[in-house]
Each structure stands twice: as structure tokens, then as C-alpha cells.
Amino acid sequence: MSYKIKFDKFFSYSFSLDCVIFGYIDGKINVLLIKRAMEPYMEEWAIPGDLVYPDENLQNAADRILTELTQLKGVELHQGQTFGEPDRHPQGRVITNAYFALVKAQEVKAEADSWAEEVRWVPLREVPKLAFDHNKILDSTFNLLQQKLQREPICFDMLPEKFTLNEMQQIYEYAFDTKMDKANFRKKIKPMPIVNLQEKQQNVKHRPANLFKFDPDKYNSIVEKENFLFRM
């Protein structure tokens, strides 16, 4: 078999990973961004990402990159889509894979480190133009998040341990850019093992709402025994 380039040229590309971290803050789904303190795209906002070392496996590289740039540790990162347009990086051919995670934003503390000058949570619909093709990567990963929200109870990964039903509804309304009827929404989530804690919100200016907690063990039991399918 003959190739149109020398065979050793196939081993001259670089590989990178970009970590898309979603969190829920004040009724909106946010994404964690960094301001770059190095070229290319100096002083521009980007998804936390970097090159993979030759001796690293991808999962270890994703964990390292996220920690080095944001100081976040122990985040459960999942592999997403690959992006490989030949001109996506101005310094040469770099193929990248997007990893993503959902975190409880109020319970983690992200701090800029390494060549990240600043780190900031930004609502998804307020994200500026990003470095490289990161807007494309973010749009694609958000689309994946929307799909998973419709068939998996992953919203609880972004909600605080104790949450209100209104906060849960806000995640879906923001994700799908729509206003949901309160009664219909609560009818949809009724089969879910959401425990009423018999507690109220504290230190709020409005009428305190009831607090709830998701029971993952009971959910897994229902799925296993009753073939329950989560649908929104």
C-alpha cells in the first residue's frame, strides 16, 4: 500500500485534551473558562486544555490538565467528541478530544494556576468568542449534555445535595431554553426517588421552599428491578 506522504509523517501530530466543566449557579448552567496567559491566543478566554505527554494515557492526562489549570481535583471526567480540523491550531496539527464533567459549582473551588491567568464560571448563553475552535467544542458538548439530560438523571450532579424543585426545573428550562409549566414538570419527575427532607430553605428573601434530596441507590434499584426508563 502506498501513501501520499512519507509514513513517518503520520507520527508528527500532537494530541490535546479540553475539559468542559458544567455547573449550576443562580438558575443558569455555567461553564468553567480560563484566561490564557500564553501564546497563542494570549489574554483570551478558553476551555481548560493542554497537550498530552507521549507517556500518558488519556484519562490521566485529562485529570492532570484540569488540576494544573484550575486546581480542581477528583472530578469525574467523561470522554466526549474528537475534533481534528487540520487548521484548528495555529502552531501545527493538533487533534483534540473533549472531556466533560458536571460538578456542584458551589461546593468546588476553582483557582487559576500554571499558565491560566484567571478562571471564571460563565453562563452558557453568555460565553464570549473563545480561543481556537473552543466555541464549536462547547456547543457540541452542550448538545451532548442536552441529550443526556433527557434520558439520565444527571441534573443532580449539578444541584446541591439539598435542593428545591424549582432549582431542578431551572436546569431543564435553561438547558432547553424554554419555560415549563410547574404542574407538568412535577408530574414528569414524580416517579423519581426524590425525598422530601421536611426542611425549608434558610436565609432567603422569598417564601422558603421545601428541600429535597435525590436517592441514587433507590434509583438504581428501580432501574434494575422495574426496567424504569428516565425520560424528560
Instruction: Indicate if the alpha-carbon torsion angle 16, 62, 124, 127 is positive or negative.
Output: negative
Question: Is the Cβ–Cβ distance between 204 and 160 less than 8 Å?
Answer: no
| DSSP annotation of 207 | P
Say whether 76 is catalytic. Answer: no
Best CA proximity match to 112, nearest among 152, 67, 145: 67
- Going 124 to 130 to 135 to 141, the CA torsion angle's sign is negative
Query: How far apart, in whole angstroms, are the C-alpha atoms of residue 136 and residue 201?
Result: 38
Query: Which among 118, 152, 161, 199 is annotated as catalytic?
Result: 118
Among 204, 38, 21, CA closest to 109: 21
Alpha carbon dihedral 139, 18, 60, 13, in 10-degree steps, equals 120
Distance CA 26, CA 29 (A): 8
Rounded Cα gap, residues 158 and 220, in angstroms: 19
The catalytic site residues sit at 118
